A and B are shown apart, each in its own frame.
Chain A
Amino acid sequence: MHRLGGVGLAAFERQIESQRSFAELSSELSKAQVDHLHSQLTQFRTALSHFAATHRDSIRRDPAFRHAFQQMCSSIGVDPLAGPRKGGWWAEMLGLGDWQYELGVQIVDVCVSTRERNGGVIEMSELVRVVSKLRGVSSGVITEDDVIRSIKTLQPLGAGYEVIDVGGGKKMVRSVMKELDEDQAVVLSEAQSEGGRIVEDILVSRRGWARERARAALENMLLRDGLCWLDEQDESTGRSYWVPSAMRWDE
Chain B
Amino acid sequence: MSFTTHTTRSGFLLPSIHSVPPFFTEQPNPTTQSQNISQWTRLILAYARHRRLFVLRLEDAETSGGDWDEVLRNERINRRVLPSHLSAIMESMITNGQAVYEPPKQTRAVLLYWRLPEEWAEVLHSWATDTANLNTILTFYEITDPPVPSPLSDIPITLLRRVIAVLAKTGRAQVISTGRTGSGEENEGVRFFSGGK
Contact = CB atoms under 8 A, between A and B. Distances in A.
A226 B27 CA distance: 9
Interface in B10-54: 16-17, 20-29, 31-32, 35-36
Q: Main SS of chain A's interface residues?
A: mixed
Contact of B3 (A222, A229, A235, A249): A249
Nearest to B30: A226
Contact of A230 (B16, B17, B27, B35): B27
Contacts, number: 64
Contacts of A234: 21
A182 interface: no
B35 A117 contact: yes
B21 A231 contact: yes
B64 interface: no
B16 A250 contact: yes
Contacts of A230: 22, 25, 27-28
Given A233-B79, A248-B3, A240 B29 contact: no
A248 B28 CA distance: 23
Interface residues of A, number: 24
A240 B21 CA distance: 9
B5 interface: yes
A143 to B, nearest CB: 23
Contacts of A116: 35
Contacts of B16: 249-251
Contact of A242 (B2, B22, B26, B31): B22
A115 B21 CA distance: 19
Given A117-B35, A233-B78, A247 B25 contact: no
Contact of B29 (A117, A222, A232): A222
A231 B78 contact: no
Nearest to A243: B22
Nearest to A241: B22
Given A116-B35, A226-B32, A242-B20, A248 B1 contact: yes
B29 A223 contact: yes
A195 interface: yes
Contacts of B17: 117
Contact of B24 (A195, A197, A231, A241): A231
Contacts of A223: 28-29
A223 B31 CA distance: 10
A244 to B, nearest CB: 8
B4 interface: yes
A229 B1 contact: no
Given A196-B1, A240-B21, A248-B2, A229 B78 contact: no
B191 to A, nearest CB: 48
A233 B2 contact: no
A250 B5 contact: yes
B29 A250 contact: no
A93 B175 CA distance: 74
A61 to B, nearest CB: 30
A249 B2 contact: yes
Nearest to B24: A233
Interface string A211-235: 0000000000011001001111111
24 contacts: A117-B17, A117-B35, A195-B1, A195-B2, A196-B1, A226-B29, A229-B25, A229-B36, A230-B22, A231-B21, A231-B25, A232-B26, A233-B24, A233-B79, A240-B21, A242-B20, A242-B21, A247-B1, A248-B3, A249-B3, A250-B3, A250-B5, A251-B5, A251-B16
In the A-B complex, the 8 residue pairs with the closest CB atoms: A195-B1, A229-B22, A231-B22, A248-B2, A242-B22, A231-B21, A232-B25, A226-B29
